[in-house]
A and B are shown apart, each in its own frame.
Chain A
Amino acid sequence: MNGGIAKKTLTHIGISLVLLLNILPLLIALSSSFRSVSNMTNPLQLFSEFSLESYRVAYDKMHFMQALGNSLMLTVISVIVVVLFTSMAAYPIARINNRLSKALYLFFLCGLVVPSQMVIIPIVQTIQGLHIPSSQFTPILMFITCSIPFSSFLYTGFIKSSIPIEVEESALIDGAGLMRRFWQIVFPLLLPVTVSVVITQGVWIWNDYFFNMIFISRAAESPLPLAMLGFMGDQTNPTAWNVLFAACFLCALPLLVMFAFLQKYFIGGLTVGSVKG
């Protein structure tokens, strides 16, 4: 019995060490962010000082609440639309087993290999050609579009492997239409994979500065990553690194909280969604 406990303790220590090494760079940044603005000497002395000054400066300078609001707006709208559109798209692709479905599946998947930096000029020209004004909401179009490949891949896999057609049968006998069957029966069952989609797509949309930078031209409409870019400019101001790190953590905090709550479902969703499929 004692041996078991010892072994377990050892395991814990081992894992902790590995993970500590993993997050060491982040720890240094975190410790720096808790220093006063001017104290940049020897950042390796972890947590030698505890001051919220850097956070206060970062908070004010990036207009945190405003930027947070913008970020939430962009991310939440995009993710909701992504979930709706791609779950819908995956439904027939997963249900019907023919060439068209297979072709659509691959066609969507292909989009994954194209980097957006490459096509940005034609993209903006297309949007302009459609007379869509460049506003706070324009990046959402691209967030949704770029999320389609991976999300539809996850949904298709999940429906194929875990939503047997039988679950719809009783509804079919009741004469329920396609819409009702999908929204009332299938969609609720997709929750685990929806969590995976929300996390994987939410994270990149939350962190993306590229599309925001291209489309948003008003400081008041900037989401967090764009507000962060202002601090990157401050790289030339070496004395403000602590503030930059503080800004980094302010920016990532909402994601950390979300992940801590959802991580259980996240792995579960991937299990059934992609890995089994």
Chain B
Amino acid sequence: MNSAVLKKTMYWFVVPALTMYLVFWIYPILRLFQYSFSDYNGFIQNFNYIGFDNFSQIFKDGVAGTSLSNTLIYTLVFVVFSNLIALGLAFLLNMKIRATGLYRTAAYVPTLFSAIVVGFIWSYVYMPDSGLIATVLSWFGVDGASLNLLGNYSSALYAITAVDVWKHIGTSTVIFLAGLQTVPVDLEEAGRIDGASSWQVTRFIRLPLLATSMTINVTLSLINGLKAFDYSFIMTNGGPGRATSTLLFEIFRMAFREMQYGKASALAVVSFIVIIAITIFFVLRLNKREVSA
């Protein structure tokens, strides 16, 4: 099995996937780098190379700053809440009770709907006056009419993040559940017999064993958050003002509304670097903890 001949032939198995990946993913990305140094407008094929102008323009505009900080806030809130809630839910659903299948399906259902649909339903939830939240508040005598989550500068970003959290919880929960199932039952029981409280069992037996699923979940939600686009696009159009304009939304706006594909590519390259840097940083940190845990 360890002969060198076998090894080399095995790599032929990578070829189909690798070819597609190189042709339809990596090559276009390299083209994007090329466009970032041009004044290409997205559809007229003769364009000029203008050096680093696009890059300096981005930072001069302050566009990069606003959208970057929006994206980072979004990501932070998204990562923290989607994982905490999912973790809690996973503990609940891991209990030895009946109908867990039904409960798990219910927890996962939001994940199955497309972002368009989700954005649409939540627009109703957030609507001032007659929306879900406003109506529920009015039952308790709170004036829901003045509650304008999507239209308010300070809350819009959090409001759309919450939608993404809601949609993402199912996925994270399932991954945590999978992690919990790797916790050997006898280990838990041994802990209990030794007189550990259920909190102690959770803290010292379950949580450490969840380290891998934690890494996966944090990484996935991190990437998801940094790539945030859907709900800015569907629910708020980046607004009010630029309050919910994420990096990706800003790229989209430049490329397809202002017809500055070159400038959009430059921002894309910048955000690409940011995303990779942040992801690698976290993955390395988490991996370290995982090993020591």
Which residue from A11, A86, A118 sits with its C-beta under 8 Å from B268? Answer: A118
Interface size on A, residues (CB 8 A): 90
Is B73 an interface residue when CB atoms closer than 8 A count as contact?
no
Query: When chains A and B are docked, how far (Å) is the Cα of A264 from the Cα of B104?
Result: 9
The reply to whether A152 and B17 contact each other, CB–CB distance below 8 Å, is yes
B interface, size bucket = 35 or more
For A100, the closest partner residue in chain B by CB is B11
The reply to whether A85 and B16 contact each other, CB–CB distance below 8 Å, is yes
Among B1-9, B151-159, B186-194, B197-205, the stretch in contact with A: B1-9
The reply to whether B21 and A274 contact each other, CB–CB distance below 8 Å, is no
The reply to whether A113 and B227 contact each other, CB–CB distance below 8 Å, is yes
Query: When chains A and B are docked, how far (Å) is the Cα of A255 from the Cα of B216?
Result: 24
For A248, the closest partner residue in chain B by CB is B117
What chain A residues lie within 8 Å of B81 (beta carbons)?
Answer: none
- Given A270-B178, A276-B182, answer yes or no on A121-B14 (Cβ-Cβ < 8 Å): no
- Given A29-B121, A108-B21, A178-B10, answer yes or no on A15-B108 (Cβ-Cβ < 8 Å): no
- Given A119-B29, A122-B32, answer yes or no on A26-B121 (Cβ-Cβ < 8 Å): yes
What chain B residues lie within 8 Å of A110 (beta carbons)?
Answer: 276
Is B105 an interface residue when CB atoms closer than 8 A count as contact?
yes
The reply to whether A113 and B97 contact each other, CB–CB distance below 8 Å, is no
Residues A134-180 near B (CB distance < 8 A): 141-142, 144-146, 148, 152, 165, 168-169, 172, 178
Interface set of A (CB-CB < 8 Å, partner B) = 8, 11-12, 14-16, 18-19, 22-26, 28-29, 42-44, 84-86, 88-89, 91-93, 95-96, 100, 104, 108, 110-115, 117-119, 121-123, 125-127, 130, 141-142, 144-146, 148, 152, 165, 168-169, 172, 178, 182, 200, 203, 207-209, 225, 228-229, 232, 235, 244-245, 248, 251-252, 255-256, 259-260, 263-264, 266-268, 270-271, 274-277
23 A-B pairs (CB sep. < 8 Å):
A15-B97, A22-B169, A44-B135, A85-B17, A92-B11, A96-B7, A100-B11, A113-B275, A113-B279, A114-B29, A117-B252, A121-B35, A125-B28, A146-B25, A172-B1, A208-B114, A248-B117, A252-B117, A255-B112, A260-B105, A268-B178, A275-B179, A276-B182
